[in-house]
A and B are shown apart, each in its own frame.
Chain A
Amino acid sequence: MMPLLQVRDLAIRIGAAEPVDNVSFDVSPAEMLGIVGESGSGKSLTLRALLKLLPAQAQVRGTALWQGQDLVSLPEAEIRKIRGRQIAMIYQEPMTALDPVLPIGLQITESLKVHLGLRGAAARARAVDLLDRVGIPSAKRRLDNYPHEFSGGMRQRAMIAISLAAEPQLLLADEPTTALDVTIQDQILALLQQLKDELHMSVILVTHDLGIVAGTCDRVAVMYAGRIQESGPVTTVFRSPAHAYTLGLMRSVPDGKHARQALSFIPGSPPDPGAMPPGCRFAPRCGHATAACGEQAPTLRPFGADHLTACLHADTLAPA
């Protein structure tokens, strides 16, 4: 099946820093892809690059094929047609992502007007419909409420409603649950999955939470220091990691069977984007690293069916 989105060798350069390098992944229709990594690994930047939402000083190279068009090289006028309509994005903090001085209803209907040409009563009706669909009670009354009059979870639902206004085929979710309580997190994730199925929509879910990825995503791409280190179906990657970093991540998850033992963790910290090490960027912290790892940047290579890894020593890694 032809993937919906094909990203190849995406790289972002801001001044002297290279926060994203050589990123490649695919997204299929009606699939939830999780991009997981620590803060500062470049996950959010990658998403923003797809819709050209980066600051002017950022330089983007590579390709992102969407329905035959390369998003990276599209001019502003063209990508504006894709934003919201074919690819939508939701942000981490709904309190800052929603305009505080405009009612929610207006923030939905302005999308409806631009993308679907709906106005007036028809637009309002559809807006009520959207709020209903994302599970906001008394939707009709809440159309005229302002963002600060919603609770955290409701705000996030409202943001999802806004982004779904034009029924996009791909939703980019930038850490949508990080700012929410755990119980609300569950609800929002369930909502995203439900919408994915109902609308036949794909989702790229960016998060640092392995648990979320394990529970909701179909496929996962592990990102470290701006590069995709490993990707594949969630069960495969998490059960049999093919990268030293992923292995370290899996091992650091607390396990009830090993109570009262020291938590294992990956020593050191991620490199400064302005001073990336040569070769594999994880090598300085890696227990399996050899001299070869520091020489040349390893590229993603196949490792079993539908499983890619950038680790030179994938074969020698012990299972998690």
Chain B
Amino acid sequence: MTILSVLARRLLHIAATVVLVTLLIFALMHLLPGDPVLMLLGEKASDAGIAQMRHQLGFDRSLFEQFWVFLGQMATFRFGDSITMRVPVASLIRDRLPITLMLTGMAVVLALLIAVPLAFVAALRQGGVVDTMIRVVSQVSLSMPVFYIGLILLITLAAGLRWFPVGGIGTGFVQDLYYLFLPALTLALSLSAILLRNLREALIEVLNADFVSFATAKGLLRSTVLGRHVLRNAWISTITLLGLHAGSLVGGAVITETVFAVPGVGRLMIDSIFSRDYAVVQGLTMVLAVMVSVVFLAVDALQAVLDPRVTA
């Protein structure tokens, strides 16, 4: 098996899953209470208008045909138009997606910067005072909802100390980094709490593994043993963990954008739900599912590169 064949297999799997996701979204729209046309047009629509829309959207065709058309639309990112904003959903998403991607990207980097060193320290000094402190802090942070972490940071660092802006977005890349720092930190703290716990356990397991003992028995420096043998094996666990939590990362982004009024896709999602803009909700759910799938693919690729046993 080569890396390419691993990826190809994964890609096929993802494509199949995305088709099923489309089916789910389709089902949500059509099988749940409420008339989708009424939902799209609003309750004040005239009968003629309803009939016309129905024909236009192809609701007079069989369910199977409708799904086929729907699948085609989703695949080509033709999500229809936003009801409230009268622009194509795709363009709305296109404008805001980069912001969300930047937010999540920063969050992942920050989370790794926080969690990896702390997990190392905790694992190396297992049972010590530092380890206990780290575990207590991590336990408490796990019980903190993302929005609460955001609120605390907002109240203390933004409003209180005025180190950062309270919300919104800048104009330009560097300014964006500044505006997105607190939201990214919020997300990162939440993610670190989860990563820290699992990473610490994984590291302890690696540290106690026979091959670490053998490497020490070879007479290598402690720093070589840690840097070359332990770290390489630990990265694999880290990447796997990140992949597993891709979903909660996206969910956290939705909430964080709401707290800090960041104009990304997360905020768009919430706004659309309140304004009953189902076309946007539909398209966004699709896009987010694809995003998560891409993360899964990337994780698989990284694992194949780092771990020779995968391609055996």
Residues of chain A at the chain B interface (Cβ within 8 Å): 48, 51, 53, 80-85, 88-89, 91, 93, 96-102, 110-111, 114-115, 146, 148-149, 159, 162-163, 165-166
What's the Cα separation between A248 and B224 when bound, in Å? 47
Choose from B209, B218, B221, B228 the contact partner of A162 (Cβ within 8 Å). Answer: B218
Q: Are B217's CB and A89's CB within 8 A? A: yes
Complex contacts, B215 vs chain A, CB 8 Å: 99
Q: Are B306's CB and A101's CB within 8 A? A: yes
**Smallest beta-carbon distance A302→chain B, Å:** 34
What's the Cα separation between A93 and B211 when bound, in Å? 10
Residues of chain B at the chain A interface (Cβ within 8 Å): 209-211, 213-221, 224, 228-229, 232-233, 236, 306-309, 312
* Chain B residue at minimum C-beta to C-beta distance from A145: B308
**Smallest beta-carbon distance A69→chain B, Å:** 15
Q: Are B210's CB and A84's CB within 8 A? A: no
Q: Are A84's CB and B309's CB within 8 A? A: no
* Chain B residue at minimum C-beta to C-beta distance from A85: B219
**Smallest beta-carbon distance A109→chain B, Å:** 11
Choose from B219, B220, B232 the contact partner of A101 (Cβ within 8 Å). Answer: B232
What's the Cα separation between A149 and B224 when bound, in Å? 24
Q: Are B217's CB and A100's CB within 8 A? A: no
Choose from B209, B216, B233 the contact partner of A83 (Cβ within 8 Å). Answer: B216
Given contacts A82-B219, A88-B217, A114-B219, whether A100 and B233 have CB atoms under 8 Å apart is: yes
Complex contacts, B221 vs chain A, CB 8 Å: 80, 114
Given contacts A97-B211, A100-B211, A101-B308, whether A83 and B217 have CB atoms under 8 Å apart is: yes
Choose from B219, B306, B308 the contact partner of A146 (Cβ within 8 Å). Answer: B308
Complex contacts, B228 vs chain A, CB 8 Å: 102, 110
CB<8 Å pairs between A and B, sample of 20:
A53-B217, A80-B219, A83-B217, A84-B217, A84-B220, A89-B214, A96-B210, A97-B210, A99-B211, A99-B233, A101-B233, A101-B308, A110-B220, A111-B218, A114-B218, A115-B219, A146-B312, A148-B308, A148-B312, A159-B214
Q: Are B308's CB and A114's CB within 8 A? A: no
Q: Are A91's CB and B214's CB within 8 A? A: yes
**Smallest beta-carbon distance A165→chain B, Å:** 8
Complex contacts, B209 vs chain A, CB 8 Å: 96
* Chain B residue at minimum C-beta to C-beta distance from A89: B217
What's the Cα separation between A115 and B228 when bound, in Å? 17
Complex contacts, B306 vs chain A, CB 8 Å: 101
What's the Cα separation between A308 and B210 when bound, in Å? 34
Complex contacts, A110 vs chain B, CB 8 Å: 218, 220, 224, 228
* Chain A residue at minimum C-beta to C-beta distance from B306: A101
**Smallest beta-carbon distance A17→chain B, Å:** 18
What's the Cα separation between A159 and B312 when bound, in Å? 21
**Smallest beta-carbon distance B131→chain A, Å:** 13
Listed residue (A48, A101, A111) with the most chain B CB atoms within 10 angstroms of its CB: A101
Given contacts A82-B219, A85-B219, whether A146 and B309 have CB atoms under 8 Å apart is: yes
Complex contacts, B309 vs chain A, CB 8 Å: 100-101, 146, 148
**Smallest beta-carbon distance B231→chain A, Å:** 10
What's the Cα separation between A100 and B209 when bound, in Å? 11
Complex contacts, A111 vs chain B, CB 8 Å: 218-220
Q: Are B218's CB and A163's CB within 8 A? A: yes
Q: Are A101's CB and B307's CB within 8 A? A: yes
Complex contacts, B229 vs chain A, CB 8 Å: 99, 102
Complex contacts, B233 vs chain A, CB 8 Å: 99-101
* Chain A residue at minimum C-beta to C-beta distance from B312: A148
**Smallest beta-carbon distance A162→chain B, Å:** 7
What's the Cα separation between A96 and B306 when bound, in Å? 18
Choose from B214, B217, B224 the contact partner of A98 (Cβ within 8 Å). Answer: B214
Having A84-B217, A97-B214, one finds 8 other A-B pairs with CB under 8 Å, namely A83-B216, A97-B213, A98-B211, A98-B214, A99-B211, A99-B229, A111-B220, A146-B308
